[in-house]
Amino acid sequence: MLLLGANMLSIGPMELSNPITWNLPPSKSHMIRWLAMASQSKKETTIKFYGEPGNDIKSMKECMESFGVEVSETNNMWKIRGIDFEANNIKNRKLYCGNSGTTTNFVITMVSTFETEFVIDGDDSLRSRDFSEINNALRSMGATITSNKLPFTVKGPVEFDRVVVNTGKSSQPLSSLIMGFQKKYKDFKIGHVGESVSRDYSKLTFDIAKKCGIEIEEANDEIIVNCEKLTVPKIVEIPQEISLLPISILLSELHDVEFINDRLEKSFFLNDSIEMIKDKNNNLLDLRDCSDFITPAAVILAIRKGGKIIGAAHAKGKESDRIEKTAELLEVFGMECKIEEDGLVIKGNQTPKRPKKPVKTYLDHRIAMTAIALATYTGGEINNPEITKITDPMFIEKILRLSDN
């Protein structure tokens, strides 16, 4: 039995059978990037997708609407008509980014092209995150930014000549610099230092930018960007949120039931990382390019034969410190692991147990989804389950429907 109360989800252990259909929402990584590009085109762009966009996508849409971009919504389709940003006729100079770190990185870069001062803010979780990487890059280009934690003000204009970013902590600053506004610059040189993480996300940025006519030349530790020929496609199709697939893998293995996604498109994006998680004989998971997987991946290893997660140091800078909070989540469900600098060492053949107290989710949607998945097996109470709407607005409803199978 499942009961949804105020900021609390109470779940009784479920006995699942039969193959279960489990489709995913549209990809926020794809859709946020396409919203950024479509907002810069005076011609109408149609964005098609399956399912309901999560709150992070909606945060990006609302920020673009604050700029004056028109977004008309119908079922599984948004039509975007951008504006002339050089006119500087912005509607609203207070931009709220919700829970979305990706949106924040993009918006900071966008507003830094104007002389006008903007205020950037977000929810409590976003306010705890550090934006020094993108902020310091923009400061070196001439922007004035009052703090590295929200809320803060941003005032430009920046000069698009050359900048250096650390891609060893996140790929988002690099992506935002490539897709930021002021699209007439050319020969903009972006140097990058550090051992790059989340490389699939950077590649996604490059691919989308190139589809929009942006020329990108990669040479050693420098990227040269030319945006003079920006042309956004008329129609764009968004794939499903593949980064949530480990949750359904976890549900499947907890209950020994097949979870079927009949709309999952084949794509390069995160494919190698997904295959790594699927491999039941793999006890060493390198999450350098997919640190978002750490929480469900840790539980999957715990109920399999155990193993080690490495390459996930950048997971500390997400909605929560995901290394620390993942270890805490395992402990709450009666499982053991050891924290290391860049990951976890996890004992195998463990059986999750019902938590004695309500489970904290720290306003982190991936912690919450993993906790809810575990509770379908053990039972339990989960705090702030609504945070799952960040990526999947239908997640709790899909969990509730599991008991009907």
Structural domains of the chain, with CATH: 2-25+241-402 (3.65.10.10), 28-237 (3.65.10.10)
Listed in sequence order, the residues at least 6 apart from 281 whose beta carbon sits closer than 8 Å to its beta carbon are none
Q: What angle (nearest 5°) sits at the alpha carbon of residue 204, between those of residues 236 and 271?
A: 105
The CA-atom distances, in angstroms, between 386 and each of 180, 249, 318 are: 31, 21, 18
Predicted pLDDT of residue 238: 96
Predicted pLDDT at 4: 64
> CA 224 to CA 177: how far, in whole Å?
11
On the 0-12 / 13-18 / 19+ scale of CB atoms within 10 A, 219 is exposed
Rounded Cα gap, residues 321 and 298, in angstroms: 14
- Model pLDDT, residue 230: 86
Cα 50 versus chain centre, distance: 18
Q: Tell me, what's the pLDDT at 268?
A: 82
CA 263, CA 260: separation in Å to the nearest integer?
9
- Which pLDDT value is given to residue 183? 65
What was the pLDDT predicted at 161?
Answer: 86
Q: How far is CA 362 from CA 125, 343, 367, in A?
A: 8, 19, 8
Give the position of tokens 């500390």.
316
Per residue of the chain (405 residues), what is the pLDDT tens digit?
Answer: 566 666 899 998 999 988 999 999 999 999 999 999 999 888 899 999 999 999 999 999 999 999 889 999 998 999 999 887 665 567 788 999 999 999 999 999 999 988 889 999 999 999 999 999 999 999 999 999 999 999 999 999 998 889 999 999 999 999 999 988 666 678 899 999 999 999 999 999 999 999 999 999 998 889 999 988 889 999 999 999 999 999 999 999 999 999 998 778 777 899 999 999 999 999 999 999 999 999 999 999 999 999 999 999 999 988 899 999 999 999 999 999 999 999 999 999 999 999 999 999 999 999 999 999 999 999 999 999 999 999 999 999 999 999 776
Q: Give the DSSP letter string of 18-73.
A: S-EE---PBPHHHHHHHHHHHTT-SSEEEEE-SSPPPHHHHHHHHHHHHHT-EEEE
Q: In the block, which residue shows the tokens 């995913």?
A: 24
At residue 99, the 3 state secondary structure works out as coil
User: Own/partner pairs for 338-341, CB < 8 Å, 24+ apart?
Assistant: 340/310, 341/313
Amino acid at 304: R
From residue 402, give the alpha-carbon distance in Å to each of 13, 247, 306, 314.
11, 14, 27, 33
pTM of the model: 0.95
